[in-house]
Structure formats: C-alpha cells, structure tokens
C-alpha cells in the first residue's frame, strides 16, 4: 500500500466500531528490534486483532520491513502527508486508531524522552498525545550498564506514575556479549500481556457500552 493511502485510510479506520482490537506496536533503536517481525506475526495470531507499527529512524536498522506484514509508519509519513488544514495529522490519527500501544523494545534514549515529555518524532508524539485511559505497555531493552545507571529506575518509575505498564526486562547474554539484566522480555511474554489488557479493555467496554472514547456520539 502507498504511504499516502495508508495514512488517509487511518482516518476511516478510526471510525469503525465493534471491529478488531487495534494494537499499535512502537519500535525504537535497540537491537531487540530484530524481533519486530516475530512480534507482529504472533500478535496477529490473537483473535480479532489488527496491528500497525510506528518506528523510530534508528529502529529501522534492525529489521527488514519486507518481513513485517502490516503498515509501518515513520517520521517521513508524518511530515510528507501534511500540507494543508484538511490533511490528517498522523500522530493524532494513530492515537485515535489504537486501542493499545505496546513499545517493544523501548530503548534508553526514548525512555528518557518519554519520561521528560519530549516529543520530537512520530513515536514520541503518539505517546505525548496518548489517551491515558487506554493501555500503554513498554518493554525496556538496553545494555546492562545502561540499565544499572540510576537514571533508568527514575525514568521507569516516571512512566509507571503516568499509568503506563512495564513489561520488565530479563537477564540474559546480550547481543553485545555482556551478561546481565537489560534484555527485552520474551515475545511470548509480551504477547500474553497484550492479550490480557485487550481482554480487560473488551470487558470494560461491554460493561460500560462505550465502544471508543473518541467516537462517542456528541450530545446535542
């Protein structure tokens, strides 16, 4: 699909009710982004799930987009497709579209940005505009020395204070050869946490009969 089409179709997609659960996967410049193709393919195995990806520029070094079967959005899409008032603003369309946002992996750089409210690319703008009543899950991934730096725990706590959910990193031999904490959670763990949160969201929408906060009919 052409980039222009997949940007404008988001606007229509976000008007769907009772459709599949919409999972937005965020991917940042950690070597764990190698796992993006398998993460997307396993999420697509969940019943009634639609997936889209938002990537940072550095994350692109780690995966082959041809191995990812869903739309991938990046900074160029944001800037190239807005020329006039009637054009969609991509980070807003993505936050409207998504029921759940999972950032896997979340590298040290983007962790620091999110903790401080910085929004200088498409992914961090989606986070900054995120509706905090919807789940935002994050999967830190970094070298053990980076993980152990005291600023990491402060920034992770800040994200949990915002209401975001940490899927903790694991201890393993990292790609750089160091052994220790900092590896991204296993894909199977991430998928099962996503599934749990989608079920919760589904149950609460059935209880309250509100299908999507952004598209509630306006009272007159």
Ligand X SMILES: Cc1cc2nc3c(=O)[nH]c(=O)nc-3n(C[C@H](O)[C@H](O)[C@H](O)COP(=O)(O)O)c2cc1C
**Considering only residues 14, 30, 152, 155, which one is a binding residue for ligand X as defined by CB under 6 A?**
30
Taking CB under 6 A as the rule, does residue 36 contact ligand X? no
Taking CB under 6 A as the rule, does residue 155 contact ligand X? no
- Within residues 178-207, the interface with ligand X by CB under 6 A covers none
Taking CB under 6 A as the rule, does residue 159 contact ligand X? no
Pick the catalytic residue from 9, 125, 139, 176. Answer: 176
Taking CB under 6 A as the rule, does residue 119 contact ligand X? no
Which residue sits closest to ligand X, CB atoms considered?
Answer: 29
Count of H helices and E strands in the chain?
Answer: 9, 8
**Considering only residues 26, 29, 88, 135, which one is a binding residue for ligand X as defined by CB under 6 A?**
29
CA dihedral of residues 158, 161, 165, 171 (deg, nearest 10) = 40
Active site residue 9: no
Q: Which is nearer to ligand X, 109 or 205 (CB)?
A: 109
Q: C-beta of 39: minimal distance to ligand X in Å?
A: 15
Q: Which is nearer to ligand X, 11 or 128 (CB)?
A: 128
Taking CB under 6 A as the rule, does residue 99 contact ligand X? no
Decide: residue 1, CB within 10 A, 0-12 exposed, 13-18 middle, 19+ buried.
exposed
Q: Which stretch binds ligand X (CB under 6 A): 17-25, 28-36, 74-82, 94-102?
A: 28-36
Pairwise CA distance, residues 142 & 110, whole Å: 11
HEC assignment per residue over 159-182? HHHCCCEECCCEEEECCCCCEEEE
Taking CB under 6 A as the rule, does residue 127 contact ligand X? no
**Considering only residues 22, 26, 28, 36, which one is a binding residue for ligand X as defined by CB under 6 A?**
28
Contacts of residue 180, defined as CB under 8 A and 6 or more positions apart, other chains included, come to: 144, 147, 148, 171, 174
Q: For the chain, how many residues are written?
A: 220
Taking CB under 6 A as the rule, does residue 81 contact ligand X? no
Q: Which is nearer to ligand X, 27 or 51 (CB)?
A: 27
Which is nearest to 33 in space by CA: 65, 75, 1?
65
Strand order across the 21-27 sheet = 72-73, 49-55, 21-27, 100-106, 136-140, 165-166
List the catalytic residues. 176
Contact residues: ligand X, CB under 6 A: 28-32, 56, 58-59, 107-110, 141-142, 146
């Amino acid at each position: 699909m052409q980039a222009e089409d997949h940007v404008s179709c988001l606007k229509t997609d976000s008007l769907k009710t009772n459709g599949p659960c919409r999972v937005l996967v965020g991917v940042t410049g950690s070597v764990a982004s190698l796992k993006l193709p398998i993460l997307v393919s396993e999420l697509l195995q969940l019943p009634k799930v639609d997936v889209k990806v938002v990537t940072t520029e550095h994350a692109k070094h780690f995966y082959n987009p041809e191995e990812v079967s869903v739309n991938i959005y990046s900074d160029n899409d944001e800037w190239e497709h807005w020329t006039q008032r009637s054009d969609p603003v991509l980070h807003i369309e993505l936050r409207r579209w998504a029921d759940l946002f999972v950032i896997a992996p979340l590298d040290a750089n983007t962790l620091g940005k999110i903790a401080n409210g910085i929004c200088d690319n498409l992914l961090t703008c989606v986070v900054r505009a995120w509706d905090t009543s919807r789940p935002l899950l994050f999967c830190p991934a970094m070298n053990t020395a980076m993980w152990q730096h005291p600023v990491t725990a402060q920034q992770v706590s800040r994200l949990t204070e915002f209401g975001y959910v940490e899927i903790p990193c694991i201890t393993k031999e990292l790609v750089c050869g160091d052994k220790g904490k900092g590896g991204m959670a296993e894909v199977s763990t991430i998928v099962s946490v996503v599934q749990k949160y989608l079920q919760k969201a589904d149950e609460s929408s059935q209880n309250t009969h509100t299908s999507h906060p952004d598209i509630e009919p306006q009272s007159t």
